[in-house]
Amino acid sequence: MRKFKTESKKLLDLMINSIYTNKEIFLRELISNASDAEDKLYLKSLTDSSIKLEEDSLSIRVTPDKDARTLTISDNGTGMTADELEANLGTIAHSGSEEFKAANAEHQGDDVDIIGQFGVGFYSAFMVASKVRVVTRAAGEDVAHVWESDGLEGYTIEDGERDHCGTDVILTLKEDVEGTDGAEGERYSRYLEEWELKNLIKQYSNYVRHPIQMMVTKSRQKPKPEDAPEDYKPEYEDYTELETINSMTPIWKKRGDVEQKDYDEFYKSAFHDWEDPARTITFHAEGALEYDALLFIPGKAPFDLYRKDY
């Protein structure tokens, strides 16, 4: 067991109880880290001829396992060496993404957008997990490494196996807590539900540039038997299919294929309004700065619009 390089217990308690007030954002943080890892690999492939990569081959996989009570977030990005595991996960508030961004600032543009900056997002996993296991293999290495911790005193790092470069973050979810004396309980098992995961991905990670994929359950009509009677009623069966959950392209960057109802839904979701906006204005500007803008005028004025302090 290796000890964290900071007062881990105090800092983790602070993060879980103060920095993050909403447990469900752990998924956003882990997906952002996975997206960063894939952007790093793509950027490396531009200058390292030994890395053969097509950008559209990069993806993030979310896999719930109700029987094992685990939730796995996988990427096929750059991965980490044992030293990088020690540096990035052994020291709370150390950000590998921040260092990478600083070192490669001149190469970044529209094709690379490193999200992680502060090095604490990974530890939000301990808000919902009793144990976190990270299996990672760095690009160009033949051996994988496994980091494991319960988020209390320390962690272990051992050699492991992974078929190709990338990282699996495997969360063993906490047991559900029943509410007592009027206090609300906590149902951690909801993070294994397909509909809940889809909603969280759409809410927090819809515009991550890489596809976020998950096996989803769907229904289809069975073929009608040749000897079916006249009063035959169609029968249906469930099947699973790999589906991309996020839209990837931000709605304000789309051109010509966005209907007003799509803007309305985005507005209501992002700004927590029950009514459609009175008007939607979009524009693209080029010059010394280039940007896209999306402006909504609400259907009703805020109730305190005419207060002096407002």
Q: Which CATH superfamily is domain 2-214 in?
A: Histidine kinase-like ATPase, C-terminal domain (3.30.565.10)
The three-point CA angle 152-157-163 to 5° equals 125
Q: What is the pLDDT along the chain (310 residues), one digit of tens a residue?
A: 887 765 556 666 666 666 667 889 999 999 999 999 999 999 999 888 888 887 678 999 999 999 999 999 999 999 999 999 888 887 665 444 445 455 555 554 544 443 344 357 888 899 999 999 999 999 999 999 999 998 877 889 999 999 999 999 999 999 999 888 877 889 999 999 999 999 999 989 988 989 999 999 999 999 999 888 989 999 999 999 999 999 888 888 776 778 898 899 888 877 878 899 999 999 889 999 888 889 999 999 888 888 888 7
> Please, what's the b/e burial string for 178-215 (b: 16 or more CB within 10 A of its CB; e: otherwise)?
eeeeeeeebebeebbebebbbebbeebbbebbbbbbbe
Residues of the chain with CATH 3.30.230.80: 251-297
Residue 7 parent element (H or E): none
pLDDT of 135 reads 98
- Cβ(77)–Cβ(165) under 8 Å? yes
- CA-CA distance, 58 to 73, in Å (whole number)? 14
pLDDT of 97 reads 45
Residues of the chain with CATH 3.30.565.10: 2-214
pLDDT of 292 reads 87
Question: What residues form DSSP beta bridges with 281?
Answer: 295
pLDDT tens figures, 80-136? 999 998 888 876 654 444 454 555 555 545 444 433 443 578 888 999 999 999 999
We find that the CATH architecture of domain 251-297 is: 2-Layer Sandwich (3.30)
pLDDT of 6 reads 56
